[in-house]
Amino acid sequence: MTATHCPYCALQCGITLERSTQAEAPEPVSLKGRDFETNGGALCRKGYSAATLLDHPERLQAPMLRQADGSLAPIGWEQALDLVADKVRAIREESGADALAVFGSGSLTNEKAYQLGKFARLALGTSRIDYNGRFCMSSAAAGTNRAFGLDRGLPFPLADLDEAGMILMLGSNVADTMPPFVRHLAGARENGGLVVVDPRRSATAKLCADNAGWHLQPTPATDLPLLLGLAHVLVAESLVDTGYLAARTNGFDAVKASLAGWWPERTARVTGVPAEQIRRTARALAQASSEAKTGGKPVYILTGRGIEQHANGTDTVTAAINLALLLGLPGTMAGGYGTITGQGNGQGGREHGQKCDQLPGYRKITDLEHRAQVARVWGVDPEIIPGLGLPAVELLEALGTPTGPRMMMIHGANPVISAPDASNVSRSLASLDFLVVCDFFLSETAAQADLVLPVLQWAEEEGSMTNLEGRILRRRAALEAPRNARSELWILSQLAQRLDAPGRFSPDPREVFEELKRASAGGLADYSGVHWDDLDAGAAVYWPCPAGTEVTAEPGIRNGTPRLFLDGFAHADRRAVLVPVAFQPAPKKNSSAVSLVTGRLLEHYQSGAQTRRVPELANAAPEPMLEIHPATALAHRIVQGQKVVISNERGEVTARALLTADARLDTVFLPFHYPGAGTANLLTEAKLDPHSRMPEFKHAHVSLNTVEEE
Ligand code: SF4
């Protein structure tokens, strides 16, 4: 029996794997839910069926090289690695190191994320590394860094939500994306205090029924003015916590002035949320927060990608944090603000140096002291660490341009489906001289590669992950690796050897973890007091955990720092910062256009490269369905199940209509897990948030046209 965690999302539900002993067993391991604090033994459909992928017939069996006729053919590992090293040397000599690029992932273990950042800087010598987490958590990270000086998705244990009297949840559909999360909403629901903000009547919004709370259904892309309107009511009705603001924050006066124009009736006109609902929500938050400080139940504000994945995502997160600060919640036991990380290692993936502006331990690549600290651990001169690179969208856009990368290595990501304006991404990748993709299936991105390298899956590898609570835990191997697949750590160490890279590149996850700890020591996300043996014995440790912290291996004990900011925020003066933010409405393109929002389904994870290969998930959600209100469908002469072309200036997508009163009249919904003509991101825009470089994923204007079927 092996105790480990689900391979998919950041809830990192506990599971137990047992190797199947019968030859005819349907899967190589049997998988059960295990009692862990995020899931209490429960799993979702994706988790229960995850073992199906381990011996899937489409599993890549050998390195595959593109042939002259366009096909991919198997080659040996020596040949594959020599070829990559030769290409790196040749391109670097001709065009310089920045002609090489790396694209990482929030699904990689901590060790791989760390080693990939180091490999890019030392073995390739390039500044051009970024990762798919730029599409996920970057706005939340920019907003929390600005307000608190530190970014940890939930700065408190998830289990703290169980006791909540009120939770305001914006832009997150946990009932579909991470169903075991719903158990943590039970207290707020019983109290009638779950308030969900979502343009769709999502599965999570439906949890508010029967007096469990209420649902605010704003016009898409108006979360920011809605938050400004809620904050306006607090200020106008003197419901802010003045003592907290004076003692623990800066910036209140500027924010107060910025809210003057957002009285409820005006906010209602912009957002479509009735003024009385805005007042009701703000007053309820104020009352619950006041009670929480005198022995009542705590109050939380939580955000997800629905409000963050916009070109104003950082400012929207900031408005949510401002609201929490006005209520006097962050850094107290009365509640707080948190963002719900999505990808499996979305938290760890953003700490260890995969970002173009970052070195391990959340260190800045532009800070001389930070560079020197990391260089000491790497055993190199800080001068040889390249500087600032390009964020993900700009990196992808630069591919194949005269000064852009000519070669890219992609690890654990499928940007052909998951990046905005997806047809441009395909074209950019096709313009490269050489594209290497490490994956265990031939994803849509791998299918475009010149060389595909087959890697291990979750149940075949050792490592650590950091979940949505900032909690470091062990991923364990329950199976031997397939004969011809390799770990990315081995691949990177082999390539580093061939390239005579400075520094050491160990293939051993434990050794890499020990180095990662040293590199993180003294940084904001400090792992230096975490011991591999304790993780092995079941400990799951909240960072920061500096060296010398007493850590116990006993499962369930809250090791490290479960709650951040109780004795001060991470800015030099220990105070949080309220930042005034403004709203610029997006111009509507034409009068017949409707708003498109995109999101996830219960059955699928991210680009769907894995879950579309699990028969029970694929059968349950085999193709993209366009959710549309019956009245909107009637106006467009669309009937249930009919094929619809959804189009705008960037592309067109075909999907069948699913008529549902859960949609707003002016809005349709598409899931983003599907390839080909069903790729929702063909329609989304690469317009970027100025702070986080997050693209505008969650809102586009589209036209709808029916397709006559034969
Ligand atoms: Fe896995 Fe997330 Fe489902 Fe839990 S909620 S079983 S971690 S996919």
Contact 233, 283 (CB under 8 A): yes
Distance 468 CA to ligand 1 centre (A): 12
* Best of 36, 45, 178, 467 for a ligand 1 pocket test (most atoms within 8 Å of beta carbon): 178
Assign residue 637 the CATH number of its domain. Answer: 2.40.40.20
372 and 299 in a single domain? The answer is no
Determine the Cα–Cα distance for residues 500 and 121; give it in Å rounded to an integer.
13
Q: Is 315 inside any structural domain?
A: yes
Same domain, 309 and 163: yes
CA of 478 to the centre of ligand 1 (A): 18
DSSP class of 681: G
Cα(613) to centroid(ligand 1), Å: 17
What spacing in Å lies between the alpha carbon of 344 and ligand 1's midpoint? 9
Specify the length of the chain in residues. Answer: 710
- Within a domain: residue 365? yes
Q: CA angle, corner 56, sides to 55 and 60, nearest 5?
A: 95
Domain assignment present for residue 253? The answer is: yes
The residue assigned the tokens 């800045």 is 364
Q: How much distance in Å is there from the Cα of 178 to the middle of ligand 1? A: 6
Residue 554 lies in a domain: no
Q: For the chain, which ranges sit under pLDDT 50?
A: none
Tokens of 196: 């969900």
Ligand 1 centroid, distance to 175 Cα (angstroms): 11
235 and 353 share one domain: no
Same domain flag for 16 and 161: no
What is the rounded CA–CA span in Å between residue 536 and residue 544?
19
DSSP states along 152-179: -S-SS-GGGGGG-SEEEEES--HHHHSG
Please check whether residues 216 and 257 belong to one and the same domain: yes
Does residue 662 belong to any structural domain of this protein?
yes
Whether 181 and 79 map to the same domain: the answer is no
Rounded distance from Cα 12 to ligand 1 centre (Å): 6
Ligand 1 atom 3: the closest Cα is on which residue?
A: 44
Read off the CATH number of the domain in which 249 is found: 3.40.228.10
Report the C-alpha gap between 512 and 521 in whole angstroms: 14
d(CA 12, CA 432): 36
Of 524, 552, 578, the last residue of a domain is: 524
605 in a structural domain = yes
My answer on whether 76 and 160 are in the same domain is no
CATH number at residue 27: 2.20.25.90
Domain that holds residue 413: 64-127+347-508+517-524
Query: Residue type for 281, please?
Result: T
Which of 325, 339, 11, 9 is closest to 153 using CA atoms? 339
Residue 9 CA: nearest ligand 1 atom is 2
- Tell me: do 325 and 270 sit in the same domain: yes
pTM of the model: 0.96
Q: Whose CA is nearest to atom 1 of ligand 1?
A: 47
pLDDT of residue 589: 64
- Of residues 284, 265, 273, the one with CA closest to residue 223: 273
199 shares its domain with 280? yes
384 close to 395: Cβ distance less than 8 angstroms = no
How many domains is the chain built from?
4
Domain check: are 389 and 482 in the same one?
yes
Q: Compute the distance from residue 159 Cα to the ligand 1 centre, in Å.
A: 16
Residue 458: give its domain's CATH number: 3.40.50.740
Alpha carbons 154 and 339: distance in angstroms, whole number: 6
- Tell me which H or E stretch contains 669: strand 667-671
Closest CA to 582 of 314, 240, 290, 269: 314
**Does 541 reside within a domain?**
no
Residues framing ligand 1 (Cβ under 6 A)? 6, 8-9, 11-13, 39, 43-44, 46-47, 178-180
Beta bridge partners of 214: 195
DSSP-assigned letters across all residues of 617-636 = HHHHS-S-EEEE-HHHHHHT
pLDDT for 559-590, tens place per residue? 999 999 999 999 999 999 999 999 988 776 66
Nearest-CA residue for atom 2 of ligand 1: 9
Question: CA-CA distance, 257 to 231, in Å (whole number)?
Answer: 11
**Does 251 share its domain with 322?**
yes
Strand spans (E) along 320-391: 335-339, 358-359, 363-364
Nearest to 179 by CA among 660, 601, 609, 671: 601
Query: Could you say which of 339, 361, 390 is where a domain stops?
Result: 339
Dihedral angle computed from the Cα positions of residues 263, 273, 279 and 228, in that order, rounded to the nearest 10 degrees: -50
Domain boundary among the residues 524, 552, 579 is at 524
In angstroms, how far apart are the furthest CA atoms of the chain? 73
**Rounded to whole angstroms, what are the CA distances from 1 to 15, 56, 371, 524, 536?**
10, 22, 43, 35, 13
How many angstroms separate the alpha carbon of residue 13 from the centre of ligand 1? 6
Q: Which amino acid is at 487?
A: S
Structure tokens at 449: 């590669």
Strand (E) or helix (H) holding 491: helix 488-498
**Cα 196 to Cα 627: distance, rounded to the nearest angstrom:** 19
Ligand 1 centroid – CA 383 distance (Å): 42
Residue having the nearest C-alpha atom to atom 4 of ligand 1: 13
Are 464 and 386 contained in the same domain?
yes
Contact of 627 with 435, CB cutoff 8 Å: no
Residue 557: per-residue pLDDT: 74
Q: In a mutational test of the pocket of ligand 1, which residue from 4, 5, 13 has the highest number of ligand atoms less than 8 Å from its CB?
A: 13
Residue 639 lies in a domain: yes
Q: 80-104 burial, b if ≥16 CB within 10 A, otherwise e?
A: bbebbbebbeebbeebebbbbbbbb
Nearest atom, ligand 1, residue 12 CA? 7
Probe ligand 1: pick from 4, 8, 347, 465, max atoms within 8 Å of CB? 8
Ligand 1 atom with the shortest distance to the CA of 45: 3
